[in-house]
Amino acid sequence: MTSTSQGSGGKPLSIGILGTGSYLPGHVVTNDEVGAPAGVDDEWITRKTGIRTRRWAKPDEAASDLAVIAGRAALERAGITAAELSLILVATSTPDEPHAPTATAVAHQLDAPPQAAAFDVNSLCSGFVFSLAMAEHSLLAAGGGHALVIGSDVYSRVLNPADRRTTPLLGDGAGAAVLGPVGEGRGIVATRLLSFGAQRDLTRIPAGGSRIPASVRTVEDGLHYFTMDGRGVRAFVMENVPSAIRKFLDDIGLPAGELDHLVPHQANGRMLEELQQELGIPTARMHTTVDRYGNTAAASVPITLDAAVRSGAIRPGETVLLAGFGGGMAAGFALLRW
């Protein structure tokens, strides 16, 4: 989907990323530490996932705490204050609590004004890209303004330590981006959001919602833990994501050879290797952080984007494809001209 609007002077308005930020908790969790309760070792985890360490939040850190730190960093790099925001979106599937929105806690901690609408987006690992698209269209419709988009997840709170299919994969963290008007020829070129509800049960937290309310029995049965059909997820990604990305680029008229950077969801290091090979985009540099941070769900794309930006790897005028995919099931793509 592409969008245009009119800015001041009747010129087309473009929305882009003005600044990025991220936050990773200080507790580094090794493969030996996370593998022992699950009955696997460092060699097995590295071979299966490419992950060597991940970060887990402290007991007193929730999703909003991580989000606030990442958001402040993004605001500082964008050169604006929270008072200038008109929208705050927090992509998370591990909110502080079921009610109220985590985004309102973030807005309060940042001292954002009431005019900055704040709400959560739960599209799991695609959540940041979904939120980015929503923020862009909102700013275009308003004729300008600024939005803070954050992906923040604390999956260490919903993991079964004995489950080797999930616990070695997941980490905690937050990544953020400030959106606002940018110069002609820059910014978000196009976005596309896809949902595959028929396969929604590939990842689940069965209890705690209105379908199966939390109870002593659900806790005893471990129904509050995150579960995943790993083989099913891998099959979904490889069967749907490469072809969807190719179609997205084709539909917007960007030859694959003109893509400079790919920032994908950091699902699994081995899966990313397969994805890169299947995509066949040799000129695009694929950025990864999964080896040191693990899969940080909605935070993985903005964390990895921030790392690439701060390293100086992405230069003005280059094309950047953000690709979120995973639970839901869902996929979201955003092409930017940096």
- Enzyme catalytic residues: 125, 265, 295
Contact (CB, 8 A) for 155 and 297 = yes
HEC-encoded secondary structure of the chain: CCCCEECHHHCEEEEEEEEEEEECCCEEEEHHHHHHHHCCCHHHHHHHHCCCEEEECCCCCCHHHHHHHHHHHHHHHHCCCHHHCCEEEEECCCCCCCCCCHHHHHHHHCCCCCCCEEEEECCHHHHHHHHHHHHHHHHHHHCCCCEEEEEEEEHHHHCCCCCCCCCCCECEEEEEEEEEEECCCCEEEEEEEEECHHHHHHEECCCCCCCCCCCHHHHHCCCCCCEECHHHHHHHHHHHHHHHHHHHHHHCCCCHHHCCEEEECCCCHHHHHHHHHHHCCCCCEECCCHHHHCECHHHHHHHHHHHHHHCCCCCCCCEEEEEEEECCCEEEEEEEEC
The vertex-244 CA angle with 239 and 247, nearest 5°, equals 135
Sequence-distant (6+) residues with CB within 8 A of 211 are none
Q: What are phi and psi of 15, to 5 degrees?
A: -110, 130
Q: Cα–Cα distance between 180 and 160 in angstroms, integer?
A: 40
